[in-house]
Amino acid sequence: MKELKILAVVIFFTLVTYYGVEPYAHHQMHKKVDAQGNEIVYESQDFKYPDLKAVTVKGDAAAGKAMISACTGCHGIESQKMQAPMDASASAGAYGVNPPDLSNAGAVFDEKFLVNFIMNPTHTAMVEHKFKEGSGKTYPMPVVAPDPQTAANIVAYLKSIAPKELTPKEAFVAACGRCHADRYGKWTQLGDVPKTKPNITTHQDPEMLAFKMKVANYQDSLAKYMGKLPPDLSIMIRARSEEFMEHFIENPQSQLPGTAMPRVGVSKEGFEKVVAYLEETGDPSKPKRQAVGPWVLGFFFIFTLLAYLWKQAHWRDLH
């Protein structure tokens, strides 16, 4: 009995310390406060984007297809055999960043977001603070179709050509991959790192060097455009909490006011796919942990039980 009381005291003080330095401290460090010092609690919006205008008109995919040339002046749609007019490096030189290929856009982005984005890009992407009038900067995406019907038609077309199911990597590439590298996933802003072989006599790998040069130039343009090079996302899933990632991707300004990161407008499903990819590269041991854990704990339960019986055998007749 006495031992259990002592154990209770030890556990109590351990838990108080744990609570103080972990959940409580992290809450205090990361909480947002307004000018009066009151805490701002961010309400998750489940990737529904309630601040954007609801889409009341029904899009017509055929009508959208008819006017897709309004988009392909800058964007490629590889799945429909439409090449972008410039390659990624040249685009980055011209715009700061490469306009995305639209093949998978309908599968990863929210429909309402896309319609609003076509009608009013800077507002929808929450980058108005960067492209204020008089700043001398213009957002590369112009207002293509200010009326809801045209926008809805284009979105209907994009959805009609999008694959039903994307792999986590495809979702990541479509939503994040033009600005963020993921070196553990061997992904650069210009695509997968090519498999090359160094020259056996010189030990040099000109093909790889050329690729690296291209990436370096692209990153240079991107860093100028964004203010700094967007971080590599290899292990971001361990560096930020999943909650932060969700709120940040849903509404970057709410977590990091003034950030150059745009609201990219992923759907709930798109977000889950992106997180799945980030887990693949940043926390690949998760399935293995879950498989091995119960066996190891089971072993120690049996070990402890046997040890208890051993202890009892020796201590039973000591008092």
Partner 1 sequence: MAHFDKAMPFSNKWMDQRLAVNTLQRVLSTEYWIPKNINFLWAMGMILAATFGILVVSGIFLLMYYVPDASNAAAFDSVNYTIMSEVGYGWFWRHIHGVGASLVFLIIYIHMFTGIYYGSYKRGRELIWLSGMGLFIVFSAEAFSGYMLPWGQMSYWAGMVITNLFEGATPDVLGGALNFPHFVEWLRGDYVPGQAFLGRFFMLHVLLMPLVIMGLIVLHFGTLRIPHVNNQDGEEIDFEESAALWKAGRKKEAKVIPFKPVFLSKDVFVMGVYFILFFYLVFYHFEFAMDPVNFDPADPLKTPTHIYPEWYFLWSYEILRPFSKNVGLIWFAFAQGILMALPFLDRSPNVAPANRRGLFGIWFWLLLIDMITLTIMGKLPPTDPTFAMIGKVAAITFISLWVVLPFITMIEKPVGGKK
Sole binder of partner 1 in the list 14, 138, 160, 167 (CB under 8 A): 14
Cβ proximity to partner 1, 59 vs 282, nearer residue: 282
Which residues, 6+ apart, have CB-to-CB distance to 33 below 8 Å? 39, 40
Contact between residue 264 and residue 276 where contact means Cβ atoms under 8 Å apart: no
Give me the torsion for CA of 188, 194, 199, 202, rounded to 10°.
0
The SS3 assignment for 57 reads coil
According to the binding rule CB under 8 A, does residue 25 interact with partner 1?
Answer: yes
The interface region with partner 1, picked from 158-166, 196-204, 235-243, 246-254 by CB under 8 A, is 235-243
Sole binder of partner 1 in the list 85, 142, 194, 284 (CB under 8 A): 284
Contact between residue 55 and residue 114 where contact means Cβ atoms under 8 Å apart: no
The interface region with partner 1, picked from 14-22, 57-65, 97-105, 258-266 by CB under 8 A, is 14-22
Least distance in angstroms from the C-beta of 304 to partner 1:
3
Least distance in angstroms from the C-beta of 12 to partner 1:
11
Q: How far apart are CA 206 and CA 258, in angstroms?
A: 40
152: exposed, middle or buried (Cβ count in 10 Å: 0-12, 13-18, 19+): buried
According to the binding rule CB under 8 A, does residue 81 interact with partner 1?
Answer: no
What residue type is 235 in one-letter code?
I
According to the binding rule CB under 8 A, does residue 21 interact with partner 1?
Answer: yes
Least distance in angstroms from the C-beta of 293 to partner 1:
3
Sole binder of partner 1 in the list 58, 197, 203, 288 (CB under 8 A): 288
Is the dihedral angle over the CA atoms 58, 61, 67, 72 positive or is it negative? Answer: positive
Identify the residue whose tokens are 């692209």.
Answer: 218
The interface region with partner 1, picked from 19-27, 66-74, 103-111, 218-226 by CB under 8 A, is 19-27
DSSP assignments along 80-93, one per residue: GTB--SS-HHHHHH
Residue 127's alpha-carbon distances to 41, 59, 85, 223, in angstroms, are 22, 26, 25, 16
Sole binder of partner 1 in the list 16, 62, 143, 223 (CB under 8 A): 16
Least distance in angstroms from the C-beta of 21 to partner 1:
5
The interface region with partner 1, picked from 126-134, 140-148, 259-267, 311-319 by CB under 8 A, is 311-319
Largest CA distance in the chain: 93
Instruction: Give residues in contact with partner 1 (CB under 8 A).
Output: 2-3, 6-7, 10, 13-14, 16-18, 20-22, 24-25, 28-29, 183-184, 231, 234-236, 238-241, 281-285, 288-290, 292-293, 296-297, 300-301, 303-305, 307-308, 310-311, 313-315, 317-319
